[in-house]
Chains A and B, each alone.
Chain A
């Protein structure tokens, strides 16, 4: 039971936290078990020496099988992992070193200070290991790495543009999850003391997956509960031996029909009941002790917010911040962007306008690296950035929002912003393993939330927010990067008049602090009022560039754009 809990927690990291479908957890468990069995029976190592080696082997297996996960996702990945389980099982049977279909027997019992552990001693060992794994999982969840995983799970592209390297963090998840499962495998091998390839096949993998889904995916309590219930269930139904699997399958279907979040998943009926009870109990106790302390006032004062159009439009003598030269991008035979050259100077508010399908969002996708360009080049702060992946570009100081919002839906507003801040702090693995709960980070996030008028929603789940707030949340998340340049893709659309006003003020104050802004906008009044200079795109080509006044009087623009609108 404890052993299965450990394996389930391993899968929970990969599938529950990082969101990578994996139907092949048996591979890692088997790697750990076989490594330990071979090392103790063949090489004559003791349990305590074999253990770290087996964990390393399982982790390495996780890393190697994680590599394909970088190429495929979701259902294709699920199917791929099914394939891997069968290949693994087949290799164990047919390669000469693994004892063939009969497996490896006579695995020595684990020993502590010379004497073999008895049944109770082994139970204590397993429980210690389980507690260790639970503690480690809790720690990881609260470290930056946990937030990065959640970001990838919720929206991989959005995680990428705020500087989280998806491939790297997926591999971490696979490696760590696999070594947990490997630990389970080692403990299994030394408990049963006789292993066969069939112990770690597809059915085992599915069994572990059903455990975490049963208990509530993405939660520690769920993984442990699922493992306990599903290992006990068959014992419980021993009296109906013949119908055991029928009941097992039926339970799965029933649970998926009526409680798809799992018994103790976030938001499931039982868990909601438990947490509200607990809450009531706690407030009742607190009520006796002292009067409830009021919510702390929102950290209202955002540092150094200045109003008004302070930053002067740049002069031509200045070094440009961002420069594109003959930037092109084709989709099939269609040129979405055709040799567009723009130059944006520091502290400038630069507008990009044009009719639908003019290539505006394509331009943003090229600038942020989410699409490779098919011709031309981009320079940022003097160095080439075309060809760099989105997370590198984000690291250099370009933040962006999406026209169709991509929030991390299941995360709180606070965590959305923290994710942006976090990517600045987890460049190396060691940093990513640091806890993120520090008040300095929270204060930074609160300051950003305050200036984007989101302070009141700090604890709200992002998916529950209306569109206007989500647009602001995307800006807040990008601000977490503390970028030099921010790309706003139609951030004003769908906003009420008052909301648009406060966003205008926000953009101006950002510029006053030295930030450069490029925005795509359809609302002419806002564009003309806000922007220092404007580029007009039409059918992939730049047809005009200049100050709002120049644009308004440009014949080509009036014909292509305003004219077309007048006819409509």
Chain B
């Protein structure tokens, strides 16, 4: 029984970790190349959820609307890069950060104007219900999230390690200027990075929308704030470190809020944990000193 409970908790933590990782990896990719704290990723994440929901209501096929949401959100990310961030790159980095905050405010207002201030339900009967597995209950949506995340990260790994584009992206992340001098089309890399990270965020947004059966304008905010802290803890720009940090945070959050009586909200616990980690290891889990 206790073992079962523990395993159940583990699955919960894994799921939470996957959700964090999906937004944090995108932030880490963007930070790795452009050194921008891309707060507006929260807006892209919510945009993904909204687009996914609308497409699903129109088309009725969940896989098609999921892919559609990812593609459209990816395009949205590319637009943000082209028209907001690119002109700001030579400026001090606080400029892009403020603009990113401005974007986030705009996004959440646009969603509110289009879809209204209330939560929208993302009802998806085919993913309700659950599997039973050796006494463990895994809901279908949990399974889809876990498998989907694993699939996306394997794809991302293959893309970064095995393809020419991935090689160019990794080079650009080391040194943007040197990569440009060596004949790498840096702008193309950056476009792709925004496409990829936005698409992954949209996947996360749609999945969380289905999981909690709720889509609303600022659904991504808290996750994005944590995501920023996660890329610091992961070691700025280190993808593996960021993924590790995501699962670590999820585990700590789950354990601390279930088993102890800390006088803090769930978010408070998570943030406290992040603050402490940053202080103990300022260079990040896998970052170099």
List the interface of chain A (C-beta within 8 A of B). Answer: 15, 21, 68, 71-72, 74-76, 78-80, 82-84, 86-87, 89-91, 93-96, 202, 206, 209-210, 213, 217, 242-246, 248-253, 256-257, 260
User: Within the complex, what minimum Cβ distance (angstroms) separates A410 from chain B?
Assistant: 11
18 A-B residue pairs with Cβ-Cβ distance under 8 Å, sorted by A, are: A74-B93, A75-B31, A80-B279, A83-B274, A83-B278, A87-B271, A90-B265, A90-B272, A202-B225, A210-B98, A210-B101, A213-B94, A213-B98, A245-B109, A252-B98, A253-B99, A256-B99, A260-B91
* Residues of chain B within 8 A of A213, CB atoms compared: 94-95, 98
- Provide the bound-state CA to CA distance between A246 and B108, in Å: 8
CB distance B106 to A78 under 8 Å? no
* Residues of chain B within 8 A of A76, CB atoms compared: 232, 236, 278, 282
- B225 interface neighbour in A21, A72, A86, A257, Cβ under 8 Å: A86
User: Within the complex, what minimum Cβ distance (angstroms) separates A26 from chain B?
Assistant: 14
* Residues of chain A within 8 A of B88, CB atoms compared: 256-257, 260
* Residues of chain B within 8 A of A80, CB atoms compared: 229, 232, 275, 278-279
CB distance A94 to B101 under 8 Å? no
* Residues of chain A within 8 A of B106, CB atoms compared: 245-246, 249-250, 253
- Provide the bound-state CA to CA distance between A256 and B88, in Å: 8
Number of B residues, CB within 8 Å of A: 45
- Provide the bound-state CA to CA distance between A15 and B98, in Å: 14
List the interface of chain B (C-beta within 8 A of A). Answer: 31, 35, 37, 84, 87-88, 91-99, 101-110, 113, 225, 228-229, 231-232, 236, 263-265, 267-269, 271-272, 274-275, 278-279, 282
- Binding site secondary structure of chain A: helix
CB distance A252 to B105 under 8 Å? yes
Q: Which residue of B lies closest to A86 (CB)?
A: B271
* Residues of chain A within 8 A of B84, CB atoms compared: 253, 257
A210-B98, A249-B103 given; A90·B113 CB < 8 A:
no
CB distance B113 to A242 under 8 Å? yes
User: Within the complex, what minimum Cβ distance (angstroms) separates A203 from chain B?
Assistant: 9
User: Within the complex, what minimum Cβ distance (angstroms) separates A503 from chain B?
Assistant: 31
User: Within the complex, what minimum Cβ distance (angstroms) separates B224 from chain A?
Assistant: 10
* Residues of chain B within 8 A of A21, CB atoms compared: 94
* Residues of chain A within 8 A of B275, CB atoms compared: 68, 80, 83-84, 87
CB distance A246 to B113 under 8 Å? yes
- Provide the bound-state CA to CA distance between A551 and B89, in Å: 50
- Provide the bound-state CA to CA distance between A89 and B104, in Å: 21
* Residues of chain B within 8 A of A89, CB atoms compared: 268
CB distance B229 to A87 under 8 Å? no
10 closest A-B pairs by CB: A90-B268, A252-B102, A249-B105, A249-B106, A86-B271, A256-B99, A245-B109, A83-B275, A253-B102, A246-B109
